[in-house]
Structure 1
Amino acid sequence: MKVLHFVTGGFSGATKVAVDLITAHNQIEATKNLLVLRRKKTTVPEKLVELDNKNIDYRVITGTTHLATVHELRRLCEQWQPDILVAHGFPEHILGRQAGLLAKVPHLVQVEHNSKERYTPWKLYQTRKLSRSTDKVVAVSKGVASELSKQNLEAPVQAITNGIDSHRYGGTTMLPLVERPQDLIMVARYAKSKDHVTLIEALYQLKRKGIALSLTLVGSGRKRYENEVHSLVKRYNLGSQISFIKYSNEVDKLLMQHKAFVMSSRFEGLNLSVLEAMASGCVVIGSQAIGVEELINDGVDGFLFPIGDDKVLAGIINNVLSDPKAYEQLTTTARKKVLSSYDKKQVTQAYYDLFQQLLEKL
């Protein structure tokens, strides 16, 4: 079995899923996997080194224009001759399947990682047309599957919920909430959809009430939005309360130093950072966005707030951090749910089973 995964080189959640699948499937005999990254500004050497360390076979192809990307990927497919091409995310799932068709790859799979994308009428026409030649469309959550049902695709849609490495996050040495030195953390790339602004506004509201909490923001991304966040922090004089970390390969350790995790997204596919925080024993506070809401049972294993509502968010944060000891059972419930339902071993097995089914059609 030869499987080629094509995904953005931006090292987003989609890239992470592709890397996890290849890492797991590389352990299976008679299986060859190739990761192809579409070059982005954030396709930097330190991130590529991590792929080398995991012994992942990868190529980085041009991202200058869509036409150039399709041309280069087509040539690579003709040389490597995969049995299955898995195209992750938008617009890569369009470009990847176009190249796969031109190279006559036997099986094409689309993986949709988000519940909301910038589909113009032309792009929607392209993805509908490509669905006729696509064996399967995989949605990374039930919410994404529901959104895909509105696109009138001709390929069957299957939900394979994303998962995490539950052995890496949490473990037996987690500190109780009251002993954790830091208050809040959010792990997300800088993009308007992640809505860091709502969290900053909530933090400012608490400051005005005399409640000064620490916040760690981990991530990089769109410079314009990152500058907007920094400007807001400066305007509210919150600099002494907030630590900015552009990139860390020790997010697991960072999470276990914090009492609460916030995900203020406006939309998602399925947010892996939420699952990682739940596994790490943080009190998770998430927006009622697709890809976040379905992960949290409000008041049982985390808390939900209306999208963009900084006032409600501020209230929840204040309640949790005023008496963190009261929420230890909630974090235990959250961790048990992740271990039982969102372990990536289940995810990688589901994808492998799908690939095996496709090969039976040959």
Structure 2
Amino acid sequence: MTVADPQASSSCAAPAGAGLPRVLHFVTGGFSGATQIALELVQAHRASGNFEPLLVLRRKRHTDPARIAALRAQGVAVEVVAGWSHAATVWQLMAICRGFRPDILVAHGFSEHLWGRYAGLLAHVPHLVHVEHNARERYTRLRLAQALWLGRRTDAIVGCSEGVRQSLLQRGFPVEKTLAIPNGIRLLPYVQAPQHPLAERTPGIVMAARFGRQKDHATLLRALALLRERGHAPPVLLAGGGKVGARRAAERLCRKLGLDGQVRFVGFCDDVPGLLMTHRICVLATHYEGMPLSLIEGMAAGCAVVGSRVTGVQEVIDHRRNGLLAEHASPASWADALEYLLRNGAEAARMADAARADAQRLHGLETMAGRYEALFQCLLRGGPPQ
């Protein structure tokens, strides 16, 4: 099944005079890319006026109460359920469903899509949607059996890229329910990117990604050590939260490689657009992705971009046209890509311009939100996912 079309047929339009349908988005409280997408959809629903949304987060050890308070201060309806046990998660979410009475429950990411749909079934939510955010999730045989069982009771299964859709089909999810809706970002914060020509920016590298086993900070750091041997020592900013243990491991490796004065760990950054638009290169070293938001943000900011050659990233970067692909987990390949951009300013600027044009044309939030809302309208009308 192809990407959902926001210009869906009239048979999928909302019935005239119907009350505002309610949509509950359930996602991890770890503020990962999946959380960002769920939040953006909730805000898009508020802006469009087509749905009444509620965001429910599953509490993690590093869930920041200040960020939740900030969302509520912005008028976003947010609830938090326990994350210490699966049973507690399901029970509390079921209670929220019975109070909010959603027409559609959208369960984002592994393993939240399991517990969210169990709660939805128990609360008799009319329509369930599963959104897969990565091409390679930690499915055990039991978890996959659960997901396939739930898939037969789910109205639509969405991959956040075509690569993720293909991975779902390979695992046995039903083809007639499985579609791709690529992730999008808010483009407005990047409108000033043309005012920052690449040649006038800090000749540095930014990787804005949470620390965890999915992201490959180690390969990037080893590539920087190789670059230093070749006479290049660009300043590097590593922005993002995530798991403390993963960040400490990266810091230890940084010290071991002698990169302390070159690499800065800046932690959570509340102005990623500003950071990107003042630096030349945006990178994402990763082991697997669904649809890499941090790279799309770098593209929108007018950066020259480099990403690991993995599913998801390969859908965003067209090698040597709008960026560079480096071989997965290969410090030498990463060093080669970074050196090419550092040595060839004109080529870097050409690819950065193409990347920015692609981000504006293909990866806007409005496009993504329109496709989700068209899907929801079809489900409410009893039609098949489109």
Give the TM-score normalised by the residue count of structure 1. Answer: 0.97
Counterparts of 1:311 and 1:247 in 2: how far apart (Å)? 29
**From 74, 88, 109, the counterpart of 1:68:** 88
Any idea what SS the aligned residue of 1:281 has? coil
Counterparts of 2:322 and 2:340 in 1: how far apart (Å)? 15
Q: Post-superposition shift, 1:322? A: 2.1
Counterparts of 1:157 and 1:327 in 2: how far apart (Å)? 37
Root-mean-square deviation (CA, aligned residues, Å) is: 1.4
Q: Is the alpha carbon distance of 1:29 and 1:283 closer, same or farther for their aligned partners in structure 2, counting shifts above 3 Å? A: closer
**1:213 and 2:227 correspond:** no
Counterparts of 2:213 and 2:356 in 1: how far apart (Å)? 29
Counterparts of 1:208 and 1:29 in 2: how far apart (Å)? 56
**From 293, 299, 303, the counterpart of 1:272:** 293
User: Match of 2:319?
Assistant: 298
**From 23, 40, 54, the counterpart of 1:20:** 40
Q: Which amino acid aligns with 1:353?
A: A
**1:104 and 2:116 correspond:** no
User: Match of 2:5?
Assistant: none
Q: Post-superposition shift, 1:27? A: 2.1
1:47-86 alignment runs, 5 A limit: 47-86=67-106
Any idea what SS the aligned residue of 1:193 has? coil
Counterparts of 1:121 and 1:149 in 2: how far apart (Å)? 16
Q: Post-superposition shift, 1:261? A: 1.1
User: Match of 1:138?
Assistant: 158
Per-residue CA deviation, residues 17-61 of structure 1 (Å, 9 max, x unaligned), is: 011111011123362110000001221123213312431101011
User: Match of 1:33?
Assistant: 53
Counterparts of 1:4 and 1:200 in 2: how far apart (Å)? 40
Q: Which amino acid aligns with 1:347?
A: M
User: Match of 2:353?
Assistant: 332
Counterparts of 1:81 and 1:18 in 2: how far apart (Å)? 19
Number of matched residues? Answer: 362
Per-residue CA deviation, residues 156-189 of structure 1 (Å, 9 max, x unaligned), is: 1010000111121243553222211241010111
Per-residue CA deviation, residues 65-98 of structure 1 (Å, 9 max, x unaligned), is: 0011001111111111100000000000000000
- 1:261–1:284 Cα contact (<8 Å) kept: yes
User: Match of 1:120?
Assistant: 140
**1:10 and 2:58 correspond:** no
Percent identical pairs in the alignment equals: 39
TM superposition outliers: structure 1 runs of 4+ over 4 Å: none
- 2:241–2:268 Cα contact (<8 Å) kept: yes
Q: Which amino acid aligns with 2:301?
A: S
Per-residue CA deviation, residues 191-234 of structure 1 (Å, 9 max, x unaligned), is: 12210000000000111233211100001212222111111111
**From 31, 36, 46, the counterpart of 2:66:** 46
User: Match of 1:159?
Assistant: 180
Q: Post-superposition shift, 1:321? A: 1.1
**From 329, 334, 338, the counterpart of 1:308:** 329
**From 237, 253, 262, the counterpart of 1:232:** 253
Counterparts of 1:53 and 1:243 in 2: how far apart (Å)? 31
**From 353, 357, 367, the counterpart of 1:346:** 367
Counterparts of 1:198 and 1:95 in 2: how far apart (Å)? 34
- 1:199–1:313 Cα contact (<8 Å) kept: yes
Counterparts of 2:356 and 2:362 in 1: how far apart (Å)? 10
Greater RCO (CA < 8 Å, at least 6 residues apart): 2
Q: Which amino acid aligns with 1:45?
A: P
Which residues of structure 1 form unaligned runs of 5+?
A: none
- 2:282–2:298 Cα contact (<8 Å) kept: yes
- 2:193–2:301 Cα contact (<8 Å) kept: no
Any idea what SS the aligned residue of 2:369 has? helix
Counterparts of 2:318 and 2:199 in 1: how far apart (Å)? 23
Per-residue CA deviation, residues 293-331 of structure 1 (Å, 9 max, x unaligned), is: 110110010000110111011111112112323322211
Any idea what SS the aligned residue of 1:110 has? strand
Which residues of structure 2 form unaligned runs of 5+?
A: 1-20
**From 253, 261, 266, the counterpart of 2:274:** 253
